Amino acid sequence: MSEKNNNISNFNNKNHSKSSPTEVEDFLKRSDVSSKSEVDAFLNKVNALTQKVSSQKKGRLIFGMDATASRERSWDKACHLQSEMFTETLGLGGLEIQLAYYKGFGQFYSTSWISETEQLLQEMSDVRCAGGQTQIQKVLQQAIKETGVNRVHALVFIGDAFEEDIDLICHYAGQLGALGVRAFCFQEGNDPIAKSGFQQIARLTDGAYSSFDSSSANQLKELLKAVAVYAAGGLKKLEEYSKGKSGIAQLLTNQIKK
């Protein structure tokens, strides 16, 4: 894979949210009992909604990832989980995705915009984790830069740590929010500093935050697919999808509705 240097967070607890972090966490724990039929219905709905999106006006989603050494053990599993989401949506012609990630000593990379499943999976499989500090600022700057060229509909970020100046991160998150790009931050593990930072990013962009671990991989997969519906068809399509549901997609919709 050709790597190029680039210059340039539970759901978020917005003040007007009806769901508290505890309620969301309790829901995620209970959601393991969801029946196969409910999951099948979820996937069928995703198919129906994304198929309605014109291939001439694809949604654009930046997928930001922490590829530092602390995530090495879960990287393969995470890539498999994320690839299922991509396979489900890219094959429908509703999304273009750009992979952006950081690792090592100041290394930040981004791919071209991808609409082919095999190409994206190859890009992801070529990534090798390397020790280093977080560079979330660069992920936010990448989303700002790209939406200045052509509208980015959503930013997904997955990480487990936050080691940067919170005020500076909030500055860039605020810029991203002003551009109308919602950030969906998903935290691996339970580091309190990361949780606070990711929630701030989600709040400032009117996005959403959730934590996950190996026991809630299926919930993360469903969350990612719901975000894909939003990126491909907007809030209206997500509302159509989650209408009448009391599950994860409905909670996601409630979190980001103004």
> Cα separations (Å) of 174 from 70, 138, 151?
28, 14, 16
CB 182 within 8 A of CB 12: no
For 107, other C-beta atoms within 10 Å of its C-beta total 17
Query: Is 69 inside any structural domain?
Result: yes
- Count of domains observed in the chain: 1
Give dist(CA 1, CA 23) in Å, integer. Answer: 42
Domain span at 70:
21-49+57-256
pLDDT tens track, the chain, 258 positions: 444 344 334 334 444 444 444 544 454 444 444 455 655 555 555 555 444 444 446 889 999 999 888 877 776 666 666 666 555 554 445 688 899 999 999 999 999 998 776 777 788 778 888 999 999 999 999 999 999 999 999 999 999 999 999 999 999 999 999 999 999 998 888 899 999 999 999 999 999 898 877 666 667 777 777 788 788 777 777 777 677 555 666 667 777 765
pTM, to two decimals: 0.72
The residues facing 114 across adjacent strands are 97
Query: Is 129 inside any structural domain?
Result: yes
Query: Is 12 inside any structural domain?
Result: no
CATH code of the domain in which 186 resides: 3.40.50.410
- What SS3 state is found at 74? helix
Query: Is 13 inside any structural domain?
Result: no
